[in-house]
Amino acid sequence: MNYAIVDIETTGGSTKSSKITEIAIYKHDGTQIIDSFATLVNPEIPIPEFISRLTGIHDKMVEDAPKFYEIAKQIIEFTEDCIFVAHNVGFDYGIIRHEFKLLGYDYRKAHLCTVRASRYVIPDHESYSLGKLTKALGINLVDRHRAKGDAEATAHLFTLLYQTDPKGLQTFIQEEVNPKILHPNLDLEILEEIPNKPGVYKFYNDVNQLIYIGKSKHIRKRIEQHLKNSKTLKGSIMRQEIARIEFELTGSELIALLFESELIKVHKPLYNRALRKSTFAYGLFDFEDQAGYVQLYVDKISKTSSAPITTFTTKREANEYIFNLVEKHQLCQKLCSLEKSNGSCFGYKVRKCHGACVGVETPESYNSRISELINLLTFDDDNFFIVENGRDKREKSVIWIENGSYRGFGFVPYYTLKQAHRNWLRFIELHPEDKDARTILRYYLRKNSETVKIPFGG
């Protein structure tokens, strides 16, 4: 397998409006550089002054350079059967794809980002920018912000990554969606418009029937995974039926979770039913024993009609969480179903349990800590807003909780955030609360303790 290590210089930072001014490609066989291609490129538009100051490339330098269409065939041939590699690959790959798109050619290659791969293969570096990382690794970078110098340094970085962990490096190769395996009615142009941001997406078939609703923190990446899915029969069948894609950004991952849950109940898409699997299989429950102590235990949610205090995706996650609760709140391991014995729990023997297991600590004292913990996890009587990132920098997403119940969400402009909280309500769209919404909220807030919660005021 060969790799094409690419770097480009451009007239700006937008993948859709910038033009290439220089390109360099080093062909790499996993061990060493085996070939190279580099040239200035006439962008056919003026180069901004600040770009010229950064790169040293100005209009006069590229006046007689080949235009992109004149080197397009060479690029295709040079990178044939290669994995496309770049530092921040989304930028270089996106601009090159756009240049080819303007020529009517669909340039698609499996690609790999050396920023993401470096964070995994060689972790704990202060910075993963090309300049600082190569300096820290002792890689010589000549002509910073010129395509040839940056590409050569990236190639040497790639050699180091490959030698350090070749199998780990391979996991970062992103296969491109193959248009030939998609439904013939699906317009692939929609993929170019979908950002990698939190949101909800919908798949429709060729008779405009909604067949699947999904959500993700990175909706473009998730959609592409669907379009490449051949691991399961149902996933492959659904992929073949997709004819149209719609998406809606939510800014917040929590809103995406809540909105997806609601939309699935309203529309009941075919493949959400066919692929249905509970995300939250286990719950934390409580009961009062004969001695008056409140005990905690984990059970499958499907086995009981009781509402869980909080939920978990796996039994292991649940047990680890309860163990941490026991440590943090000095609870009894026996009364939290972590230990079975006729006498005291191990925690009491090492003075981490106050002795509820043998009646030394009173039920009133022990239950007060349990009650405080349950109130923290359930927020049943609380009134607050959850504030997270908006769909863009001009707003924040806001989820409204009233008396512990989910009321809805909205997007509050920045100019309104400093106003009285009651003014936020005009941006909130009401949404129904149900068991799933409460489960999602409790799970999310438990897993994301840094989430900003603002008490509802005047």
Q: Please check whether residues 13 and 154 belong to one and the same domain.
A: yes
Task: Quickly state the pLDDT bin for 450 (edges 50, 70, 90).
Answer: confident
Per-residue pLDDT tens over the stretch 45-85 = 999 999 999 999 999 999 999 999 999 999 999 999 999 99
Give the contacts of 51 (CB within 8 A, at least 6 positions apart).
10, 11, 12, 21, 57
- My answer on whether 133 and 77 are in the same domain is yes
Residue 379 lies in a domain: no
CA-CA distance, 140 to 252, in Å (whole number)? Answer: 41
In a domain, 122, yes or no: yes
Q: Domain check: are 49 and 158 in the same one?
A: yes
CATH code for the domain in which residue 242 is found: 3.40.1440.10
Instruction: Answer whether residue 334 is part of any domain.
Output: yes
- Are 47 and 81 contained in the same domain? yes
Residue 111 and residue 39 share a domain:
yes
Specify the pLDDT at position 376: 80
Decide if 337 is inside a domain. yes
Same domain, 67 and 120: yes
| Boundary residue ending a domain (254, 274, 294) | 274
Q: Are residues 55 and 128 in the same domain?
A: yes
Given strand 384-389, what is the order of strands in its sheet?
A: 428-430, 405-413, 395-402, 384-389, 452-455
Total domains in the chain come to 4
Last residue of a domain, one of 325, 350, 373: 373
**Three-state SS across the chain?**
CEEEEEEEEECCCCCCCCCEEEEEEEEECCCCEEEEEEEECECCCCCCHHHHHHHCCCHHHHCCCCEHHHHHHHHHHHCCCEEEEECCHHHHHHHHHHHHHHCCCCCCCCEEEHHHHHHHHCCCCCCCCHHHHHHHHCCCCCCCCCHHHHHHHHHHHHHHHHHHCHHHHHCCCECCCCHHHCCCCCCCHHHHHCCCCCEEEEEECCCCCEEEEEEECCHHHHHHHHHCCCCCHHHHHHHHHCCEEEEEECCCHHHHHHHHHHHHHHHCCHHHHHCCCCCCCEEEEEEECCCCCEEEEEEEHHHCCCCCCEEECCHHHHHHHHHHHHHHHCCCCHHHCCCCCCCCCHHHHCCCCCCHHHCCCCHHHHHHHHHHHHHHHHCCCCCEEEEEECCCCCEEEEEEEECCEEEEEEEEEHHHHCCCHHHHHHHEEECCCCHHHHHHHHHHHHHCCCCEEEECCC
Is the same domain home to 198 and 146? no
Domain span at 56: 2-170
pLDDT in tens, 205-239: 888 899 999 999 999 989 988 887 767 777 788 88
- Percent pLDDT > 70 in the chain is 96
CA distance 69 to 47: 18
- The mean pLDDT value for 300-311 works out to 84
Q: Per-residue b/e over 83-100, b at no fewer than 16 CB within 10 Å?
A: bbbbbbbebbbbbbbbbb
Residue 181: which pLDDT band, with cuts at 50, 70 and 90?
A: low
451 domain-assigned: yes
Instruction: Tell me, yes or no, whether 48 and 161 share the same domain.
Output: yes
The answer to whether residue 184 scores a pLDDT higher than 90 is no
With bands split at pLDDT 50, 70 and 90, how would you rate the model's confidence at 351? confident
166 with 190, same domain: the answer is: no
pTM of the model: 0.64
Residues 334 and 412 in one domain: no
Any idea what the CATH number is for the domain that residue 82 is in? 3.30.420.10
